[in-house]
Amino acid sequence: MISHLDGAKIIKLSVKGDYGTIKIQDYKEAKIPVCFLAICKYDGDDKYHLFDCDNELNVVDDDLCDDLDEAVNLAQIWSDLPIKWEIDKSG
């Protein structure tokens, strides 16, 4: 099972779902579907990153969060239903 994204350790990874789209800045009409949400942390960094990932778990966007709770709350904004986490190493 995957343990890192873009070199950051996965703390939480959602099950596959529909979490909206990310607009590509260079193209007016191009949008990438967000299929996974991942909360990750880089070694030596006290911040958390909320990664928006495509169907193949490629990171297409990210948000920097001060703590895990902020990242979880931000992730929940992307989902109409409570997020089910496939991986949860937060505890």
Please identify which residue in the block is written with the tokens 């990310």: 22
For strand 21-23 and strand 31-33, is the pairing parallel, antiparallel, or unpaired? antiparallel
Q: 2-60: per-residue pLDDT in tens?
A: 999 999 999 999 999 999 888 777 666 678 899 999 999 999 999 999 999 999 999 99
Question: Computed over its alpha carbons, how large is the radius of gyration of the chain?
Answer: 13
The ranges assigned to domains in the chain are 4-86
Please identify which residue in the block is written with the tokens 């709770």: 69
Structure tokens belonging to residue 43:
């070694």
Of residues 16, 27, 10, 2, the one with CA closest to residue 62: 10
pLDDT at 3: 96
pLDDT at 56: 96
pLDDT at 28: 65
pLDDT at 79: 82
pLDDT at 27: 61
Residue 8, SS3 per DSSP = strand
Its pTM surpasses 0.75: yes
Q: 73-82: per-residue pLDDT in tens?
A: 999 987 878 8
